[in-house]
Structure 1
Amino acid sequence: MKQKRMADYAYHYGLKVRIYPSQRQKEIIKHNADATRFVYNEHVAVNKEIAQFGKRNICIDFIEKRIKILRERIRTVTALKDRYPWLRHPDIDAQSIANARQNYQRAWKQFRTVHLVGVPNFHKKTSVESYQTNPHYNNDMKISLFTSNARFLDIHHLMLPKLKRIRFQSSRKVLERLFAMKEVRIGTITITKDSLNRYFASFQLGSDEPFVGACPKTDAEIGVDLNIENFYADSNGEIVDNPCYYRRQKRRLANAQRKLSRRIVRAKKEHRPLREAKNVEKQRLLVAKLTAKVMQRRKDFLHRTSATLIKNHDLVAAEELRSKNMMKNHALAMSIQDNGWRIFLNLLTYKATLYGRKFVAVDPRNTTQTCHVCGHVMSGKGKLTLKDREWTCPNCGMHHLRDINAAKNILARAKQKLALTQ
């Protein structure tokens, strides 16, 4: 009987756990991360050289022979291993090399679909390390979290390819729910070491039964207007303040970064490798810790806020904002980035699917300038600016709070959009 692929499952779920490798396991992770980066960069180098031939006026026969040699070098995993025998080291997972090649091909596919992402570039060596692997399921093997060479042994231990038994930590409630499910297939596994030298394993899971039960209907609907003055204002008249996590740490982070910069300059003048300069590494960890603190607090706030909106409303509507374009305004760029609007919208999108709710993103055009009562649009000399937080409609005389009025318009547009699609 043929095994089902990950794409064939009705539901998909991501699980990220913290792992605690031994010193030997850390070495294996480093070997695989280095091999992954090397294979990816080899593909980048080969294709860049092939692209350069079109700009040179040299012998055609030489070009054809050289292109053939280059393409043969990266044609298969075996060809790479023949050219670079160190890739056959027993610590290196063959799946990590295969995934590196696949990621390079996906990068080109993404470029052809969305040109703004750019072409695949050289991956520099940094303090962050990662690689991907996949479990092996035999055709006669039962699909579950406890079979294959990548599996859960118990609530505190994993079995991973090459790494073998390793301790991990995650939410007991989430694990108990997953362990109780009949059939859960493990897909791609990403092993990561972050800038704080913490290790994580991310699992792609697939199943035909939902990972989270749908929330009961509330018959409640809400529109959300994201803005700089606060985090958002909703159509019910409530306003959620922006915690401004980056602004709180801005001065302390800037001081730490300047200190790191001075230590790097000093180490270079003394001709010391940066990775061996203890003072540089100590200060780098401090900067990474402050940055991670900001990111984790913001991420926690966005998760809690998005979950509250989705669980308590059948329909959630918001603006389809393009943060990258808005950040071209240098006066507002820091505030926009500190808000994390794009992440928030992505969280609302996937959580709506997860909990059986509806999330609709609408065009933000004139949502602020339009009166939600009579539909009058402010224009010309009467057009509202960012300073105008309250205004009165010249047509119907209705007094508006700027952000709450916009949230009501957003909700109305979302209902119209749903009515057209049904």
Structure 2
Amino acid sequence: MLVNKAYRFRLYPTKEQEVLIAKTIGCSRFVFNRFLSLWNENYQTTGKGLSYSACSSQLTKLKKELDWLQEVDSHSLQSSLKNLADSFDRFLKKQNKAPRFKSKKNKVQSYTTNIEKKNQFPEVSIAGNRMKLPKLGWVRFANSRDVQGRILNATVRKNPSGKHFVSLLVEIDVQDLPKTDSTVGIDVGLKDFAILSNGKVYKNPKFFRTLEEKLAKAQRVLSRRQRLAIQQKKPLSEAKNVQKQRMKVARVHEQIANARTDYLQKITTEIIKNHDVIGIEDLKVSNMLKNRTLSKAISEVSWSEFRRMLEYKAKWYGKKVIAVDPRYTSQKCHSCGHTAKENRRTQATFICVSCGHSENADLNASRNIHDLAMV
């Protein structure tokens, strides 16, 4: 099956390439905002928006008027128009809110360059630890794995920590994984991250709590430096000590996010490889986050991201993920089927008041999830 897959690598651009990346990001943002403004004006005047082709023809004229738009990759500017058109299409279909103007103060700055199918020579090519990108030329990068498939586009981004990354979107033919004839139910939790109906437990590493003290200390230093810059009437963007500390805070956040993503990728891949049908709870995480007592712990475990990874990997590799109604899964006895609130004695203990069946509460819930998914 043909699927779109992304490869992400760390870039190590030269000073000149960093300047060109910043210019390209700025020009892409300018084009997006300019045509968003034109689209809004045209809609208020005529009741109709602008098509992508109309914007594209105006962009050609604009590049003749503004010479600095010709310094950057032309594909990135066209990509901004395509993103704008796509945003309005989804807005008109009531799939998302109306597109908003982009700000240079956003934490993550990026641009996307598309690959022309008609071009005999590829715009993006890889040789050893160097990657060729439009306008940038050859850029050194961390070549951690081979890129397989046909490259569709490349997104260059600059993180708040100051690091540069490139994401290559490729089209690749993915083969189904071997069938294991195994089914499993998964109950997610806060003490343990995931409990499988076969008894396997994935611990909750609590990456945020591990680095919380370090993060808090870095944020206090940043706050002091910001107050000092304000007292000296310096713009925060020009206060070097503020920017240095801001990057230190961003690196701690990045370390937490990277560790969490790596953990989720590993356990979801393991589950998909070992089981053909996987039952999970259809949790409304956004509603659960309204609980002020548990919101911090719930956001840390990333249940939504865990489910997203399971679902797209199952689609890729010929497996199946079934979401079931989470009501009463923790109160129902897996042995006799009796459902009562009193069955859940404590957070960890389940003792059925009807038949006396006793076991770990999360394991009992995961077995109920498994049974519901297999119906």
TM-score by shorter chain over 0.5: yes
* SS of residue in 1 equivalent to 2:71: coil
2:109 aligned with 1:129, yes or no? yes
2:364 aligned with 1:405, yes or no? yes
- For 1:315 and 1:72, the matched residues in 2 are separated by 44
2:12 aligned with 1:33, yes or no? no
* SS of residue in 2 equivalent to 1:190: strand
* SS of residue in 1 equivalent to 2:66: helix
Query: Normalising by structure 1, what TM-score?
Result: 0.80
2:178 aligned with 1:186, yes or no? no
The 1:112–1:257 alpha-carbon spacing in structure 2 relative to 1, beyond 3 Å, is farther
Among 157, 161, 167, the alignment partner of 1:202 is: 167
The 1:72–1:205 alpha-carbon spacing in structure 2 relative to 1, beyond 3 Å, is closer
Tell me if the contact between 1:372 and 1:405 (Cα under 8 Å) persists in the aligned partners. Answer: yes
Greater alpha carbon shift after TM alignment, 340-349 vs 312-321: 312-321
* SS of residue in 2 equivalent to 1:148: coil
2:141 aligned with 1:168, yes or no? yes
* SS of residue in 2 equivalent to 1:228: coil
Q: Which amino acid aligns with 2:268?
A: S
Q: Which amino acid aligns with 1:353?
A: K
Tell me if the contact between 1:21 and 1:167 (Cα under 8 Å) persists in the aligned partners. Answer: yes
User: Which residue does 1:378 correspond to in 2?
Assistant: 340
Tell me if the contact between 1:72 and 1:79 (Cα under 8 Å) persists in the aligned partners. Answer: no
User: Which residue does 1:56 correspond to in 2?
Assistant: none
Q: Which amino acid aligns with 1:123?
A: K
Tell me if the contact between 1:393 and 1:400 (Cα under 8 Å) persists in the aligned partners. Answer: no
Q: How does 1:225-304 map to 2 (within 5 A)?
A: 225-304=187-266
CA offsets 1:183-234 (integer angstroms, 9 cap, x no match) = x322121111111221111111114x32xx5433332222110012221111
Percent of pairs identical after alignment? 32
Q: Which amino acid aligns with 1:92?
A: V
Once the two structures are TM-superposed, the CA of residue 83 in structure 1 deviates from its matched residue by: 4.8
- For 2:78 and 2:118, the matched residues in 1 are separated by 19
- For 1:74 and 1:12, the matched residues in 2 are separated by 26
Q: What is the RMSD computed on CA atoms of the aligned residues? A: 2.7
2:300 aligned with 1:338, yes or no? yes
* SS of residue in 2 equivalent to 1:89: helix
- For 1:223 and 1:72, the matched residues in 2 are separated by 47
Once the two structures are TM-superposed, the CA of residue 366 in structure 1 deviates from its matched residue by: 1.8
Tell me if the contact between 2:344 and 2:361 (Cα under 8 Å) persists in the aligned partners. Answer: no
Tell me if the contact between 1:81 and 1:88 (Cα under 8 Å) persists in the aligned partners. Answer: no
The unaligned stretches of length 5 or more in structure 2 are: none
- For 1:351 and 1:103, the matched residues in 2 are separated by 26
CA offsets 1:307-362 (integer angstroms, 9 cap, x no match) = 11111222222112232221111111100111011111111112223333322222
The 1:395–1:113 alpha-carbon spacing in structure 2 relative to 1, beyond 3 Å, is farther
Tell me if the contact between 2:344 and 2:351 (Cα under 8 Å) persists in the aligned partners. Answer: no
- For 1:40 and 1:89, the matched residues in 2 are separated by 13
Q: How does 1:307-326 map to 2 (within 5 A)?
A: 307-326=269-288
Tell me if the contact between 1:135 and 1:161 (Cα under 8 Å) persists in the aligned partners. Answer: no
Once the two structures are TM-superposed, the CA of residue 89 in structure 1 deviates from its matched residue by: 3.2
Tell me if the contact between 1:73 and 1:79 (Cα under 8 Å) persists in the aligned partners. Answer: no
In the alignment of these two chains, the number of paired residues is 373
The 1:345–1:320 alpha-carbon spacing in structure 2 relative to 1, beyond 3 Å, is same
Among 63, 81, 99, the alignment partner of 1:120 is: 99
CA offsets 1:1-42 (integer angstroms, 9 cap, x no match) = xxxxxxxx8232211122221222111111111111122222
User: Which residue does 2:79 correspond to in 1?
Assistant: 99
- For 1:110 and 1:251, the matched residues in 2 are separated by 41
Q: Which amino acid aligns with 2:112?
A: Q
User: Which residue does 1:76 correspond to in 2?
Assistant: 55
- For 1:114 and 1:330, the matched residues in 2 are separated by 30
Tell me if the contact between 1:35 and 1:87 (Cα under 8 Å) persists in the aligned partners. Answer: no
Once the two structures are TM-superposed, the CA of residue 289 in structure 1 deviates from its matched residue by: 1.0
User: Which residue does 2:122 correspond to in 1?
Assistant: 148
The 1:150–1:246 alpha-carbon spacing in structure 2 relative to 1, beyond 3 Å, is same
The 1:114–1:226 alpha-carbon spacing in structure 2 relative to 1, beyond 3 Å, is farther
Once the two structures are TM-superposed, the CA of residue 72 in structure 1 deviates from its matched residue by: 10
Tell me if the contact between 2:9 and 2:143 (Cα under 8 Å) persists in the aligned partners. Answer: yes
- For 1:138 and 1:388, the matched residues in 2 are separated by 61
CA offsets 1:383-405 (integer angstroms, 9 cap, x no match) = 748x4432322333322321111
User: Which residue does 1:3 correspond to in 2?
Assistant: none
* SS of residue in 1 equivalent to 2:6: strand
The 1:244–1:87 alpha-carbon spacing in structure 2 relative to 1, beyond 3 Å, is farther
Q: Which amino acid aligns with 1:167?
A: R
